Amino acid sequence: MSQIESKLAMAKSFKDGENKDMEGAMEKASALYDEVDALRKQYDLEEKAMIAEKALVTDDAQKVGEKAKEGAEDPAEKGEKAPKDSMKEFAQSARNGFYQPKSMSEGSNTDGGYTVPEDIQTKINEYRDSKASLLHLVDVESVSTDKGARTFKKRSQQTGFTKVGEGGKIGAKNTPQFERISYEIAKYAGYFPVTNELLEDSDSNIAQTLIAWIGDESRVTANKLILGVVREKEAVNLGNLDGIKKAFNVTLGSAFKATSKIVTNDNGLQYFDTLKDETGRYLLSPNPSDTMSMRLAVGGSYIPVEVVPNDDLANDDAYVPTADKDIVAGKTYYTKAGDVYTAVDSPVKANIATYYEIESRIPMILGDLKEGVKYFDRKKMNIKTSDVAVMGDLNAFEEDLTLYRAIEREDVKVKDNKAFVNGYIVA
């Protein structure tokens, strides 16, 4: 039935799914539905034939059994062996420790292993995984052109009106100033080849599994683009909780503090989960109005904390000059030549001033990313399939493949670099 499921999924994509805008989409959907009807008829016919054959075998067995009963004689009178007593055989096997002769072995396929079924599931199982998208944190806008710009009024420190005496001359004041954020859509794509034998013969719905995989590629792409523009801003060592307080109170200030949060990874969660106040109470706690979310007590404020898995927001490793005065056993030191760092096989104290070590930095993105980052989405991901296309060295028609091609078009820009802090804490 996997063939039917695969063709139904493809037909649906042409009828009202992601491929509905293709030329001739409705004709392709109709042809696929016709193929599904033909396959169903073929399955029904095979099922009827199987039932008929099974009934015939059952009838033959019954006739043989009746004939055997009518002509039953004492095996001993005909010089034949008496039927085996299964209870006696079981008892004897138990006495012998259920010994089996070496001529039959499960480990050897030809010696009987073929008769022992392997525990193989054709259903596709998935390992438990934690995946996160950063799109909900930023300002997402769908656009219909490849290039464009958005206009914003610049921040400026206004000085107010000046006092003018009677008959005095009124001075000119500064007018609002504006700036633009430009975007230019880029294409991100990939293709995925699958053999037609796998699509047709597999018990699992390979097509749906692959489409889900492609969707996850899109999530990872968006995450990388968003983190890329966040990290364009110089990273700040927050140091500790006091540094986080200052970032919220001073750097972000009143303009963004009320709508800000802390975005960190699993390592950051562990760091916050160990912080206590002077009475021994933990500073990280569930939000009473939403127990699935966490908040951190920072001075007189509670700041929401959003945790992104380490796989999606990894620690930033950086090479820094070592602060050690003597060689620490077991630690790896590095030397620098240009932009290349090389591990020192046998570090010596005399050269320690020239050594570097790796500093692991826990990411702490503070602020309001909806005000800080803008994601321009030209067109949501589009998936097309073909069994005749040529992609690179692959010829789908010649090699009997189906190619899945995925394309998405997007751009990400910093909207307001004052709305967030690209911070970290040394692990």
CB of 381 closer than 8 Å to CB of 387: no
Biggest CA-to-CA distance, the chain? 145
Tens of pLDDT along the chain (427 residues)? 456 777 777 777 767 776 666 666 777 778 877 887 877 777 777 777 667 666 665 555 555 455 545 554 555 555 555 555 544 554 454 444 444 445 444 455 544 444 444 444 444 455 566 688 999 999 999 998 899 999 888 777 777 888 888 888 888 888 788 888 999 999 999 988 888 877 776 656 777 777 788 888 899 999 999 999 999 999 999 999 999 999 999 999 999 999 999 999 999 999 999 999 888 899 999 988 887 789 999 888 899 999 999 999 999 989 999 999 999 999 999 999 999 999 999 999 999 999 999 999 999 999 999 999 999 998 778 888 888 888 888 888 888 888 888 889 999 999 999 999 999 999 8
DSSP label of 312: T
- pTM assigned to the model: 0.65
Q: What is the pLDDT of residue 39?
A: 74
Pair 174, 166: CB distance under 8 Å:
no
> Are the C-beta atoms of residues 131 and 309 closer than 8 Å to each other?
yes
Q: Phi/psi at 211 (nearest 5 deg)?
A: -65, -40
> What is the DSSP secondary-structure string of 14-68?
HHTSTTTTSTTHHHHHHHHHHHHHHHHHHHHHHHHHHHHHHHHHHHHHHHHHHHH
Question: Is the separation of the CB atoms in 265 and 313 below 8 Å?
Answer: yes
CB of 361 closer than 8 Å to CB of 316: yes
CB 103 within 8 A of CB 109: no
- Is the CA virtual torsion 23, 24, 29, 35 positive or negative? negative
Q: In sequence order, what are the residues at sequence separation of 6 or more whose Cβ sits closer than 8 angstroms to the Cβ of residue 15? A: 25, 26, 29
Number of H helices, E strands in the chain: 10, 18
End-to-end CA distance of the chain: 53
CA distance 195 to 192: 10
Q: Which fold has domain 132-155+176-260+368-427?
A: Major capsid protein gp5 fold (3.30.2400)
Q: Which residues in the chain are classed under CATH 3.30.2400?
A: 132-155+176-260+368-427
Q: Are 336 and 356 in contact (CB under 8 A)?
A: yes
